[in-house]
Structure 1
Amino acid sequence: MDLKLVYSTFPSVASAEAVARTVVAERLAACANILPTMISVYAWQGVMERADEVVLLLKTTATCAADLMARVKAEHPYEVPAIVLIPLAGADSDFAAWVGAQTRPGGLPRG
């Protein structure tokens, strides 16, 4: 199973959890981890910024990755969100099989 990790940052635990619940319910990601309390320093529109953020990590398959990234972007509160696809060199075979069983390309129909 070709697993991928999608990394994104959010302004709050609540906003990250809302997206996590959506993409797991739609079967685009098998599971999500939210890592709270991160400080980000970056330049935005010519101004140095500092923000408290959280990290959202989503486990998925290669076949679901593009749909997952598009859904995260559609639901994300930032104008230009960080959404990064990270290839995984390996995973426990039982975990990989579980991720595969929990996800499906295109997710579930929205409605």
Structure 2
Amino acid sequence: MPTVYITVPPDDADEIAETLVEERLAACVNRLSTTSTYRWEGEIHRDYEAVLLAKTTDSAYDDLLERVQTLHPHDVPCIERFDEADVLESFATWRAESVD
């Protein structure tokens, strides 16, 4: 089961997180605040961002990816999938029941 790492402007984080949970594309979305330093169009930028960690399922991943892309304000959003090698069975069951 995947966890999806997404960075977004702080003002967009709540809407994206709530949409993913409301539409049952994620069982839970954690929000963390961070500062990102990155290169964009040849220049170094530093911005405050929110990191969203969306807990989803294999079957919902493609729909989650598509939904985030429609909601995200950036042309090239940071969306990365991490697959757990190990997960607590009771958590995996809850996640599966909460998504799809």
Answer yes or no: same fold by TM over 0.5. Answer: yes
Q: What is the deviation of 1:50?
A: 0.9
Counterpart CA distance in 2 for 1:23 and 1:11 is 16
Aligned to 1:23: 20
Letter matched to residue 2 of structure 2: K
Aligned to 2:7: 9
Q: How many residues align?
A: 100
Which sections of structure 2, spanning at least 5 residues, go unmatched?
A: none
Which contiguous aligned blocks of 4+ residues in structure 1 show a shift greater than 3 angstroms? none
Q: What is the deviation of 1:6?
A: 0.5
Secondary structure of 1:52 counterpart? strand
Counterpart CA distance in 2 for 1:33 and 1:41 is 21
Counterpart CA distance in 2 for 1:26 and 1:20 is 10
1:24-103 map, 5 Å? 24-36=21-33, 38-103=34-99
Counterpart CA distance in 2 for 1:77 and 1:45 is 17
Considering only aligned residues, what root-mean-square deviation do their CA atoms show, in Å? 0.9
Secondary structure of 1:29 counterpart? coil
Letter matched to residue 82 of structure 2: I
CA-to-aligned-CA distance 1:67-94 (integer Å, 9 cap, x gap): 1111111101111100001111111111
% same residue: 41
Counterpart CA distance in 2 for 1:40 and 1:73 is 20
Which sections of structure 1, spanning at least 5 residues, go unmatched?
A: 105-111
